[in-house]
Amino acid sequence: MAQMTMIQAITDALRTELKNDENVLVFGEDVGQNGGVFRATEGLQDEFGEDRVFDTPLAESAIGGLSIGLALEGFRPVPEIQFFGFVYEVMDSINGQMARTRYRSGNTKQQPITIRSPFGGGVNTPELHADSLEGLVAQQPGLKVVIPSTPYDAKGLLLASIRDNDPVVFLEHMKLYRSFRGEVPEEEYTVDLSKADVKREGKDVTLIAYGAMVHACLKAADELEKNNINAEVIDLRTVSPIDVDTIIKSVEKTNRVVVVQEAQRQAGVAANIVTEIQERAILHLEAPVLRVTAPDTVYPFSEAEDIWLPDHKDIMEKVDQVINF
Amino acid sequence: MFQILDENGKIVNKDDMPDLSDDELKELMRRMVYTRVLDQRSIALNRQGRLGFYAPTAGQEASQLGSHFALEKEDFILPGYRDVPQLIWHGLPLYQAFLFSRGHFHGNQMPEGVNALSPQIIIGAQYVQTAGVALGKKLRGNKSVAVTYTGDGGTSQGDFYEGINFAGAYGAPAIFFVQNNHFAISVPVEKQTAAKTLAQKAIAAGIEGIQVDGMDVLAMYAVTKHARERAINGEGPMLIEALTYRYGPHTMAGDDPTRYRTEDLNNEWEKKDPIVRFRTFLESKKLWSEEEENKVIEQAKEDIKAAIKETDKYPKQKVTDLISNMYEELPQNLKEQMEEYKEKESK
């Protein structure tokens, strides 16, 4: 076991898979000699050469198209979109093309592509860097959308994503890149893309979250414990498709739920989770399922992040409401 | 404009005359005539409701088939929605082309060894994907090329520029065709750009560009052959603008070209017909006769009849088919929906 930050765990996963599979290619803007704007690909070009790890011209749409074409030639592309706010440029390649290729070819062609992209608030980035746009890709059939919250999950989920023979959007929360270290096995392992993870067991209320909000939930749960409220925290890990079984099992135990996301209320995936719960477990509910989200405005100017982003206090308020409903 | 055969079927450029045998010249003619019949029959079948989406091809035979004739089986084609003929001559069975038109997934299941994607509906997307296929070939060290087609309107898309620019930056073996038929639905090419040619857009990518008489099958063949050789020798991609014309509407979905094109313009382009001029050329070499042409026409009609029958007989799609084509391994939500639809389909 080693202590790694999430960014180190990601680099470790990329190195592992570049070594394991000669079809794996890593490319994007500044991922080569520069090692990526967050150092996620540091040292990889020196180790594996320019044919495996390379820079691209500055054009997201063609990075997507390049991935599609390389996949058609039998490669396993791991492209990077520098910040997920730039996904609009490459929306057709992702949602309009690679997500549909297996289906439109009648299962004769596949797209084993993993798109890595940073997102997420709390680090005072300029405009359109931090936006949570996972909801947009979560709505596209043919994709899987993965958002790790720990170094351990990041490595295992990224290895599983790269090995998956269908396209995966792998979103990396910028605030989690270096904010803490966690135990990460040095050997290779995968984390199942179809499974949520119970990060904390509890019996009074279920908190469902992903990304940075997992840590906000854990912090809230610690505070709630002081008031004798025992919260269960589920980390979705994969936000599309959703592991409904793990959620429903928890709801049947706690009978109260709060769904937590950093994205605006009209965005993200929380509404989908609430719907699944009401369709499958309404008779187990003692209170309505409430959501903690950001307000429905454009992502804040960086000085306003503190007052805009949801935090553990917002979560505790909603828990209070579902407990005292 | 690069040309070998003029409107009267005369060789005007002996130096660039491609080295084609008599049999190959006849095969080119056979394919053009066959494809003209296919277009006529497809329009008729569409009107009878026996075909669905169809983008007419008459007028573009030299551009589509002359370029395709210079390719090899291992070359990968990324066609636009009007480029079904190239797929057929690359090996897609006719009945599958008809299934594509009707909207059935089997139409898109390229047989083993047919290196192509099904026709791309998003204009420009095939260009960025071609850069990727070509880079893949370069990394593998394959001596083959990626080939794609778009129209004049398509040159205004961002993906058009990004595609040629990426291929240029990587020195990738790609051939980018622009079939300039002068209209994007109703919008004439003059409203797409102030550029005097579309071929000159290659300059923005720093790659070779050439404008060709797209009604001249020998010129289209010669240029493509040249581009292919350059590409597999590591000299990078090429942009080829074929000046051509579609005699029919944009698609059969209600477009009426009399709203935006004059009779005079149609007549002017009909004089340039690729089949007429190539026929004159072959007849002057005693390589073609009316009898031979009629044989091709009859053969095409028979094949089309047989193919549409096979299309009719092909099993209908089920929702469970569509679900099972989504992922290699079905996720939870689709597993559930699969069960639901299995149940419905068993009733």
| Contact partners, residue A168, CB within 8 Å, separation at least 6 | A113, A114, A115, A143, A144, A145, A146, A161, A162, A193
Alpha-carbon Rg of chain A, whole angstroms? 19
Query: How confident is the model at residue B196, as a pLDDT?
Result: 97
**One-letter amino acid for residue B149 of the chain:** Y
Write down the pLDDT at residue B187: 96
Q: Give me the mean pLDDT over the A46-50 stretch.
A: 98
Contact A102 B332 (CB under 8 A): no
User: How far apart are the CA of A229 and the nearest CA of chain B, in angstroms?
Assistant: 32
B117 with A243: Cβ contact below 8 A: no
Instruction: Read off the pLDDT of residues B99-126 as tens digits, 9 standing for 90 and up.
Output: 999 999 999 999 999 999 999 999 999 9
pLDDT tier at A301, thresholds 50, 70, 90: very high
Interface contact A241-B332, CB threshold 8 A? yes
Cβ-in-10-Å burial (0-12, 13-18, 19+) of A316 comes to: buried
Searching chain B, which residue's CA lies closest to the CA of residue A51? B139
Q: B162 contacts in A (CB within 8 Å)?
A: 57, 59, 61-62, 65
Beta-carbon count within 10 A of A256 CB: 24
Give contacts of A93 with chain B, Cβ < 8 Å: 125, 128
Q: Which residues of B touch A62 (CB under 8 A)?
A: 128, 131, 159, 162-163, 165-166
Report the mean per-residue pLDDT for chain A. Answer: 98
Single-letter code of the amino acid located at A160: A
Which chain A residue shows the shortest CA-CA distance from B123?
A92
Q: How far is A206 from chain B (nearest CA, A)?
A: 21
List of residues 6+ apart from A136 with CB closer than 8 A: A87, A91, A95, A267
- Asked if A169 contacts A144 with a C-beta cutoff of 8 angstroms, the reply is yes
pLDDT at B137 (0 to 100): 98
pLDDT digits over B186-225, tens only?
999 999 999 999 999 999 999 999 999 999 999 999 999 9
C-alpha distance from residue B166 to each of B54, B173, B325 (Å)? 31, 11, 31
Interchain CB contacts (distance < 8 Å): A and B? 136
Cα A130 to Cα A125: distance, rounded to the nearest angstrom: 7
CB contact under 8 A, B109 and A103: no
Cβ contact A244–B332 (<8 Å): yes
Given a cut of 90, is residue A214 above it in pLDDT? yes
Please give the Cα distance from A251 to A255 (Å, whole number). 5
Which residues on B lie below 8 Å from A73 (Cβ)? Answer: 76, 132-133, 136-137, 139-140
Asked if the Cβ–Cβ distance from B331 to A64 is below 8 Å, we say no
Tell me the three state secondary structure of residue A317.
helix
In contact, A103 and B322? CB cutoff 8 Å: yes
pLDDT band at A243 (very low <50, low <70, confident <90, very high): very high
Partners of B150 in the β-ladder? B178
pLDDT at B203: 98
Q: Dump pLDDT digits (tens) for B30-58.
A: 999 999 999 999 999 999 999 999 999 99
Name the amino acid, one letter, at B209.
G
Q: Which of B118, B128, B322 sits opposite A61 (nearest CB)?
A: B128
Task: Give the chain A residue whose CA is nearest to the CA of B174.
Answer: A69
Min Cα separation A137/chain B (Å): 15
Return the pLDDT at B111. Answer: 98
What pLDDT was estimated at residue B276?
Answer: 97
Long-range contacts of A217-221 (CB under 8 A, 24+ apart): A217/A260, A217/A312, A217/A315, A219/A312, A220/A312, A220/A313, A220/A315, A220/A316, A220/A319
Q: Which of B110, B125, B146 sits opposite A97 (nearest CB)?
A: B125
Q: Length of chain A in residues, anyone?
A: 325
Residues 6+ apart with CB under 8 A from B127: A65, B148, B150, B154, B157, B159, B160, B162, B163, B164, B176
Report the candidate in A236, A149, A232, A255 with the shortest Cα–Cα distance to residue A192.
A236
Asked whether residue A315 carries a pLDDT value surpassing 90, the answer given is: yes
* A76-119 per-position pLDDT tens digit: 999 999 999 999 999 999 999 999 999 999 999 999 999 999 99
The Cα B211–Cα B206 span in angstroms is: 16
Yes or no: say if A53 and A29 are a contact pair by the CB < 8 Å rule.
no
Q: Based on the residue annotation, tell me whether A173 is a catalytic residue of this protein.
A: no
Q: Which residues of A touch B (CB under 8 A)?
A: 25, 51, 56-57, 59, 61-62, 64-75, 92-93, 96-97, 102-110, 141-142, 144, 164-166, 194, 241-245
Cβ proximity of A279 and A251 under 8 Å: no
Among the listed residues A93, A96, A100, the one whose alpha carbon sits nearest the alpha carbon of residue B105:
A100
Q: In chain A, what residues touch B322 (CB-CB under 8 Å)?
A: 103
SS (H, E, C) chain B: CECCECCCCCECCHHHCCCCCHHHHHHHHHHHHHHHHHHHHHHHHHHCCCCCCCCCCCCCHHHHHHHHHCCCCCCEEECECCCHHHHHHHCCCHHHHHHHHHCCHHHHCCCCCCCECCCECCCCHHHHHHHHHHHHHHHHCCCCCEEEEEECHHHHCHHHHHHHHHHHHHCCCEEEEEEECCEECCEEHHHCCCCCCCHHHHHHHCCEEEEEECCCHHHHHHHHHHHHHHHHCCCCCEEEEEECCCCCCCCCCCCCHHHCCCHHHHHHHHCCCHHHHHHHHHHHCCCCCHHHHHHHHHHHHHHHHHHHHHHHHCCCCCHHHHHHCCCCCCCHHHHHHHHHHHHHHHC
Residue A161, H or E segment: helix A151-163
Does residue A1 surpass a pLDDT of 90?
no
Q: What is the mean pLDDT of residues B282-288?
A: 98
Q: What percent of chain B has pLDDT over 90?
A: 100
Identify the residue whose tokens are 């010249």. Answer: B25
**Residue linked to tokens 């995936």:** A269
Residue among A66, A93, A239, A243 with most chain B CBs within 10 A, to mutate: A66
Average pLDDT on A266-278 reads 98
> For residue B106, what is the nearest residue in chain A, using CA coordinates?
A106
pLDDT digits (tens, 9 = 90+) for B62-107: 999 999 999 999 999 999 999 999 999 999 999 999 999 999 999 9
CA angle B100, B103, B108 (to 5 degrees): 40
Q: Please answer yes or no on whether A73 and B136 come within 8 Å at the CB atom.
A: yes
Cβ-proximal residues to A312 (8 Å cutoff; 6+ apart), any chain: A216, A217, A219, A220, A223
pLDDT of A191 over the 90 cut: yes
Looking at the annotation, which residues of B are catalytic? 246, 250, 260
Nearest-Cα distance to chain A for B132, in Å, is 4
Does A57 contact B169 at a Cβ distance shorter than 8 Å? yes
Contacts of A68 in chain B (CB under 8 A): 128-129, 132
| Interstrand relation of B183-184 and B187-188 (parallel, antiparallel or unpaired) | antiparallel
Burial B118-145 (b: 16+ CB within 10 A, else e): bbbeebbbbbbbbbbbbbbbbbeebebb
- B115 close to B148: Cβ distance less than 8 angstroms: no
Structure token digits, residue B192: 């797409």
DSSP bridge pairs for A240: A145
Residue A107 is given by DSSP the state: S
Residues of chain B with Cβ-Cβ distance to A196 below 8 Å are none
Distance of CA B315 to the CA centre of its chain: 27
Decide if A66 and B324 are in contact by the 8 Å CB cutoff.
no
- Report the length, in residues, of chain B: 347
What is the pLDDT of chain B when averaged over all its residues? 97
- E strands present in chain A: 2-4, 24-28, 53-55, 76-80, 114-119, 144-146, 168-173, 182-184, 197-200, 205-209, 231-235, 238-240, 257-264, 290-294
Q: Which of A62, A104, A245 sits opposite B128 (nearest CB)?
A: A62
ipTM for the whole complex:
0.97
- pTM comes to 0.98
